[in-house]
A and B are shown apart, each in its own frame.
Chain A
Amino acid sequence: MTITDPAVGPPQHPAWTEIQQSPEFGSLRKRLRGFVFPMTALFFLWYMAYVLLADYAHGFMSIKLWGNINVGLVLGLLQFVSTFAITMLYVRHATKNLDPAAEKIRKEIEGEDA
């Protein structure tokens, strides 16, 4: 891409590998992956557990809790709740723990070859 569009890659490359190896960047990566990987595993397992229950545990899902509201409906609505909750947790994590560090490194890179 540096060939196709000079605006993307300046002629003097930032030392990408050096930055990548820096402890500062390492800690940013760790904080990103430390959040998104376990969270992805969590919502995926929770979703698949729900799909399997709806698929193979009809009796359990059909138990009525209040009036016509059964376990299946409540678990389904909880999927909505967990999706909204994970979204809010991630935004908070990113604003607090990722954005400032990313911004700092970005300024160092763009400053040095501007």
Chain B
Amino acid sequence: MSTQLAAEVSGNPVLNIGIFGVFVAITMVIVFRASRTTKTAADYYAGGRSFTGPQNGVAIAGDYLSAASFLGIAGAIALNGYDGFLYSIGFLVAWLVALLLVAELLRNTGKYTMGDVLAFRMKQRPVRAAAATSTLVVSFFYLLAQMAGAGGLVALLLGISGKTGQSVVITLVGVIMIIYVLVGGMKGTTWVQIIKAALLITGGLAMTIWVLAKFGFNLSTLLGAAVDAGGANGEALLNPGNQYGKSETSKLDFISLGLALVLGTAGLPHILMRFYTVPTAKEARRSVVWAIWLIGIFYLFTLVLGYGAGALVGPEAIKNAPGKANSAAPLLAQALGGPVLLGLIAAVAFATILAVVAGLTITASASFAHDIYANIIKKGKVDDKAQEVRVARITAVVIGLVAIGGGIVANGQNIAFLVALAFAVAASANLPTIVYSLFWKRFNTSGALWSIYGGLVSSIVLIIFSPAVSGKPATASTPSMIKGVDFHWFPLENPGLVSIPLAFFLGWLGTVLSKGGTDAEKYAEMEVRALTGAHAEKATAH
């Protein structure tokens, strides 16, 4: 990671910073404008529920297409070929769970958080505490991944290779994000995500057309060029198994990852919270439909960009660049359009991190203020809604500071691993309880607690004792988080294969073993409201 190499890759740091500065300036103006109409809790948490389906769909795409899925997937395809493509398929198919089973019913029964829905017909305090705990844990891992990604990007794009310099940039990213969230609330955050998604998708489209044009708009020719550039290993880029086909264990790991990806999305709290920003369940459906099209089309771009980077930049050059796999897309931009395009893509990548981090922070702070402060500490008797929003704002600052600290510590860790971890925890701790509460009449408080805590604890314990944390040689392509020690006993890097079925099983077991019955009247209310939208939270009028 020599400074000379970094400077060579970064093109023109002043240009990169300049373009990014323009993005920050424009979004800040919008965020301050949004703050004028942010008065009530519904405004702060849910943007007044005034976004249209298409607007929210674009914002969801902005929230979901994180640095890991843009830089990470393009890089994985460039280096590992087909196995990188599998990530994007899992990330996309996962949206059908949200569309068919979760989005509309959640919108109809909740107010601001996942805890609203999970605790609807259960004992409020224990279930809300569990839901908030799991929201905070999932959001924390996701935040850590994004902040660590910011550090790596800096190394690549601004030519800052010293740890101190990178820490300064991570802090700067954190501070800008805190301002977005404090000032603009959900409304401001949503606009930042909409702008970012538009930039990212436009940039992706332009690069995709550019790459295809170089190969006569023939995908087969592009793949052939990637094979040629790959040298001895080139042909394997087209076939599955390059990354996960090495042993029986790694094959199981791949199933585990596939399961976590497809079931994790509909359990991600920052995604669930976006469904509250629209006025009706029908708009929530429209927003998921928009999100599916945008995300799907973008992942098709990454297929071209990944193989394009392999063909035009070459795997060796990517591996030797400061950001390794994450640098594939920026290097491709440089190869195509020189420093200006690199600067644009660099700014988009930064904007991506900012927007996702802001979405995560507002979700975590809402869960703390609404579930823990208002409903557990104050027992649901907060007469002053302004007080709850004040607590949410203070929490946002605290979470922002924790994210800055965590990002500095986690700088250099494998981003894709941290994100896959967040997905596995979300799929284990959140999804079973969401599905059971919405569809299973008999499900009760102890089932919910067993499933949430069982999924949370099992997924985290299995991660701690996995080769992802300790035991792999430092020379491995993705070394363990802690080097030099080995305390792993769980063979897989991703816990999903064990922890997801276990959480579903525990939800069932806790329910049938418990003596506490089901509140049939409350279930009737929940089911009727979920399916019809009766008495659902309305948009606030301004």
Binds A, one of B394-402, B404-412, B520-528: B520-528
CA A40 to CA B101, docked complex, whole Å: 8
CB-based closest 5 A-B pairs:
A67-B220, A68-B223, A4-B380, A20-B524, A16-B525
CA A10 to CA B535, docked complex, whole Å: 9
* A/B interface sample: 29 pairs, CB < 8 A: A1-B111, A8-B537, A17-B520, A25-B532, A29-B527, A33-B439, A35-B100, A40-B96, A43-B93, A47-B262, A48-B259, A51-B90, A58-B240, A61-B82, A67-B220, A68-B219, A68-B220, A69-B223, A70-B239, A76-B89, A79-B92, A83-B95, A83-B96, A84-B292, A87-B95, A87-B292, A91-B289, A105-B528, A106-B534
A53 to chain B, nearest CB (A): 8
B475 to chain A, nearest CB (A): 25
Q: In the assembled complex, which residues on chain B have CB atoms less than 8 Å from the CB atom of A8?
A: 111, 535, 537
Which chain A residues in 38-90 approach chain B with CB under 8 Å? 39-40, 43-44, 47-48, 50-52, 54-56, 58, 61-62, 66-70, 72-73, 76, 79-80, 83-84, 86-87, 90
Contact in complex: B86, A102 (CB < 8 Å)? no
Known: A14-B534, A55-B244. A69 touches B220 (CB 8 A): yes
Known: A67-B224, A76-B89. A51 touches B255 (CB 8 A): yes
Partner of B527, one of A20, A48, A102: A20
Contact-residue size bin, chain A (C-beta under 8 Å from the other chain):
35 or more
| A interface residue numbers (CB < 8 A to B) | 1, 3-5, 8-10, 13-14, 16-17, 19-21, 25, 28-29, 32-33, 35-36, 39-40, 43-44, 47-48, 50-52, 54-56, 58, 61-62, 66-70, 72-73, 76, 79-80, 83-84, 86-87, 90-91, 94, 99, 102-103, 105-106, 109-110
B99 to chain A, nearest CB (A): 6
Contact in complex: B532, A106 (CB < 8 Å)? yes
Q: In the assembled complex, which residues on chain B have CB atoms less than 8 Å from the CB atom of A99?
A: 282
Known: A62-B238, A76-B85, A87-B96. A48 touches B534 (CB 8 A): no
Q: In the assembled complex, which residues on chain B have CB atoms less than 8 Å from the CB atom of A16?
A: 521, 524-525, 528
Partner of B533, one of A40, A69, A72, A102: A102
Contact in complex: B258, A48 (CB < 8 Å)? yes
Contact in complex: A43, B221 (CB < 8 Å)? no
Contact in complex: A83, B220 (CB < 8 Å)? no
CA A36 to CA B285, docked complex, whole Å: 14
Asked if B7 is at the interface (CB within 8 A of a chain A CB), the reply is no
CA A44 to CA B262, docked complex, whole Å: 8
A11 to chain B, nearest CB (A): 13
Contact in complex: B99, A87 (CB < 8 Å)? yes
Chain B residues bordering chain A, tally (CB within 8 A)? 63
Contact in complex: B524, A109 (CB < 8 Å)? no
Known: A62-B238, A84-B292, A109-B528. A90 touches B100 (CB 8 A): yes
Which chain B residues in 88-124 approach chain A with CB under 8 Å? 89-90, 92-93, 95-97, 99-101, 111, 116, 120
Asked if B64 is at the interface (CB within 8 A of a chain A CB), the reply is no
Q: In the assembled complex, which residues on chain B have CB atoms less than 8 Å from the CB atom of A68?
A: 219-221, 223-224, 227, 238
Known: A76-B89, A83-B93. A110 touches B535 (CB 8 A): yes
Contact in complex: B240, A55 (CB < 8 Å)? yes
Partner of A110, one of B239, B299, B534: B534
| Given A68-B219, A106-B533, 6 further pairs, Cβ under 8 A | A9-B535, A19-B524, A47-B89, A55-B251, A79-B93, A86-B100
